[in-house]
Amino acid sequence: MPNEASPLPGPQSPGTGLQDLRGPHSPRKIPGWAATTALLLPAYAWLTLAVFLPLATMFVFSFLNKTPMGQAPVEFTLRHYRAFIDQGYLVRIAWNTLVMGFWTTLICAVLGFFAALALVRCTAGRQRETLLVLILLPFWTNGLVRVFSWTMVLRENGFLDSLWHLVGDGSISFLYSRPAIVLGLVHGYLPYMILTCYIALITIDDAVIEAAQSLGARWGTVLTRILIPLAAPGLISGAVLTFVPVIGSFMEPRILGGKVGMTLGTVIEDQFTQAFNWPLGASLSFTLLAVVLAIFATFSGVLKRGAAA
C-alpha cells in the first residue's frame, strides 16, 4: 500500500514563525508610560531634593518672626513681606538694582547682537568654531576669579591706569562705582546674549537678505526691517537670561562696587550671613522671585509668537 503523502504545510499567520523562534518566555514590551517615568524620575527626584525642598523651607522661613535658632519660640507673621513699605531704603535699592539690570541687559543686547551677526555673516568653518570657543571661554573660569581680575584692571595704578599714564596725566580708575559693576556683569553675561542671537540669526535664509538687496534695500533697512525682527526671539531670550540673574547678583556689586554696590542681592546675602535674619532674607528672595516670574510671564507670549512665526 503506497504511503500516504504527508500534508503540505499550510499558510502561517504573520509572526507565527517569529514567535516560535522567540519561545514561550520571550520578554514583554515595557509600556511607554513606564519607560518615560523611569527616565524622568531621577531628574525630578534630584530637582525635588536640590531645588524645591530648599525653596519650600525658605518659603516657610519667610513667614517666621525670627530665625529658628535656640529655644526661643517662633511665630508666623506677614510683616517681613511689608519690608518695602516699612523700610523705604529698600525701594531705592530695588530701583537701583532694576536700573543696573536694564543697562547691563541693554549693553549685552547691542554688543551681543552685532557680535553674533559678525559670526554668522563674516565667518565660516574652523574660524567660526574658534570664535565660538573664545566666546564660551568665560564659562570655563571661576566667576570669583573673573571679578577679581577686573579689580586689577580698574583700580588706581592698575593695568588701565598704567596705560593711561603713558599718554596723559591723572587717573581714569573707576573701581568701586556703578559703571565698574555694569562692566563686570556685562563680561559675565554677554556670552548668553551672543549665543541666543547667534542661534536666531543662523536660521535666517540668505535668500531673504539677497532678495531685499536686489530690490534696492540698503544695509540699514535690511538690519532694521529683516534681521532684527527675525532675530527678536533670540534677543528676548538673551535679555531674559541676562536680566534675571543680574538683578539677583551679589558678587560683582560687592567686589566691584564697594560702598555703592548695594543691591537686592547684597541685601539678601547680608540678611543670611551677617544679620542672621533669615525670615527677612527669605521674604526678599521670594519677592525677587515674584519679579522674575512676572518677567517670564510677560515675555513668554512674545517668545511663543516668535516660535510660531
> Does residue 175 lie in a domain region?
yes
CATH of the domain at 297: 1.10.3720.10
What are the grid coordinates assigned to 298, written together? 510677560
If one counts the domains in the chain, the total is: 1
> Does residue 35 lie in a domain region?
no
> Does residue 83 lie in a domain region?
no
- Residue carrying C-alpha cell 531673504: 208
> Does residue 52 lie in a domain region?
no
The pLDDT score that the predictor gives to residue 157 is 83
The pLDDT score that the predictor gives to residue 66 is 85
The pLDDT score that the predictor gives to residue 108 is 96
> Does residue 111 lie in a domain region?
yes
The pLDDT score that the predictor gives to residue 303 is 60
> Does residue 17 lie in a domain region?
no
The pLDDT score that the predictor gives to residue 38 is 85
The dihedrals phi and psi of 261, each to the nearest 5 degrees, come to -90, 35
The pLDDT score that the predictor gives to residue 213 is 87
- 309 residues of the chain, pLDDT tens digit each: 445 445 555 555 554 554 454 555 556 777 778 888 888 888 888 988 888 888 899 999 999 988 887 777 888 998 889 888 888 889 999 999 999 999 999 999 999 999 999 998 888 788 888 888 888 887 788 888 889 999 999 888 888 888 888 887 778 888 899 999 999 999 999 999 999 999 999 998 889 888 988 888 898 899 999 999 999 989 998 998 999 899 999 999 999 998 888 999 999 999 998 888 999 999 999 998 888 888 878 877 666 665 555
The identity of residue 10, as a single letter, is G
The pLDDT score that the predictor gives to residue 110 is 95
The pLDDT score that the predictor gives to residue 167 is 83
The pLDDT score that the predictor gives to residue 191 is 92
How far apart are the C-alpha atoms of 120 and 60, rounded to whole Å? Answer: 49
Distances, alpha carbon 28 to alpha carbons 8, 17, 20, 69, 270, in Å: 33, 17, 15, 55, 58
Q: At what angle do helices 264-273 and 278-308 cross, to 10 degrees?
A: 140
**Considering the entire predicted model, what is its pTM?**
0.80
> Does residue 98 lie in a domain region?
yes
The pLDDT score that the predictor gives to residue 11 is 52
Domain that includes residue 243, residue range: 94-308
> Does residue 79 lie in a domain region?
no
The pLDDT score that the predictor gives to residue 1 is 46
Residue 68 DSSP symbol: -
The pLDDT score that the predictor gives to residue 182 is 95
Distances, alpha carbon 306 to alpha carbons 75, 193, 231, 303, in Å: 48, 17, 9, 5
Provide the CB-side half-sphere exposure for 20 (13 A, CA): 5
pLDDT in tens, 95-133: 999 999 999 999 999 999 999 999 988 887 888 888 888
The pLDDT score that the predictor gives to residue 26 is 54
